[in-house]
């Protein structure tokens, strides 16, 4: 099959037919192929994809806070998340790659596939407008949004707080026990204390926030398994 019918099949899969096919071809062209490539389209496509996914999540999960929504979005717009969409569209077989990238397996590299997804989104935005491009690109993520496990997005501190509040207990208290190491390589030890059984757990990590999460995780494990 020649390239033209392959691009037409791709347009059916992405839900948009380009008035200028050269724009789609550019979106599929890696920088290793030549000076005219998809990097600029990827730049604006990245912004569109993030905005579209944010709106989908905002509408689908009205009870989730900002942190949870951000973590869900990260899953969908990450290199791995976008590569899933690229493989659904069979972009690998259509990528325009330089000889080196082609020989080293660039058609199957998630980072290159993810960039191509963003570039296609950017190309649609260039040829249409934000409203239409958003409507088209949002369809790419509907399935992914529906299949997300929202229970795993909440961090340990949030889950611990919800567990304690649900049982009518006071919130836990976090205290920095020690900070050791040089400024560029510090280790924080934090305690997490709960009135439930007067329990105390400890977490160690390279930042206070991570240490608090570790301590909260351990305390939650104890409480749940009592």
Q: Residues with Cβ < 8 Å from 9, sequence gap 6 or more?
A: none
Q: What one-character DSSP code corresponds to residue 96?
A: B
Measured CA to CA, the distance from residue 178 to residue 180 in angstroms comes to: 6
Site of tokens 């997490």: 192
Question: Bridge partners of 187?
Answer: 180
118 marked ligand binding residue: yes
Q: Is 19 a catalytic residue?
A: no
149 marked ligand binding residue: no
Radius of gyration of the chain (CA): 23
For residues 3 and 28, is the Cβ–Cβ distance under 8 A?
A: no
Q: Is 129 a catalytic residue?
A: no
Check 46, 189, 212, 218 and give the catalytic one. 46
162 marked ligand binding residue: no
Element (H, E) at 192: strand 187-194
Alpha helices in 61-202 (DSSP H): 66-77, 79-88, 99-103, 110-127, 130-147, 156-166
Site of tokens 């993030």: 50
Check 101, 118, 212, 218 and give the catalytic one. 118
- Supply 202's token pair: 């400890």
Binding site feature residues for Mg(2+): 42, 115, 118
Residue ranges of the annotated binding site are 42, 115, 118
Instruction: Catalogue the active-site residues.
Output: 46, 118
């Amino acid at each position: 099959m020649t390239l033209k019918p392959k691009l037409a099949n791709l347009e059916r899969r992405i839900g948009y037919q380009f008035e200028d096919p050269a724009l789609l071809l550019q979106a599929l062209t890696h920088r290793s192929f030549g000076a005219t490539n998809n990097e600029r389209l990827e730049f604006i496509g990245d912004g569109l994809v993030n905005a579209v996914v944010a709106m989908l999540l905002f509408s689908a999960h009205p009870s989730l806070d900002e942190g949870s929504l951000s973590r869900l979005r990260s899953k969908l717009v990450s290199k791995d998340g976008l590569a899933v969409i690229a493989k659904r569209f069979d972009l690998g077989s259509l990528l325009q790659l330089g000889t080196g990238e082609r020989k080293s397996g660039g058609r199957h590299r998630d980072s290159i596939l993810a960039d191509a997804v963003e570039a296609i989104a950017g190309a649609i935005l260039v040829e249409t407008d934000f409203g239409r491009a958003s409507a088209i690109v949002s369809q790419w993520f509907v399935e992914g949004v529906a299949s997300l496990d929202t229970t795993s997005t909440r961090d340990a501190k949030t889950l611990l707080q919800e567990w304690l509040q649900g049982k009518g207990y006071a919130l836990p208290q976090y205290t920095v026990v020690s900070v050791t190491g040089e400024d560029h390589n510090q280790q924080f030890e934090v305690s997490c204390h709960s009135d439930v059984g007067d329990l105390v757990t400890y977490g160690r990590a390279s930042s206070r926030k991570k240490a608090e999460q570790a301590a909260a995780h351990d305390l939650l494990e104890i409480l749940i398994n009592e």
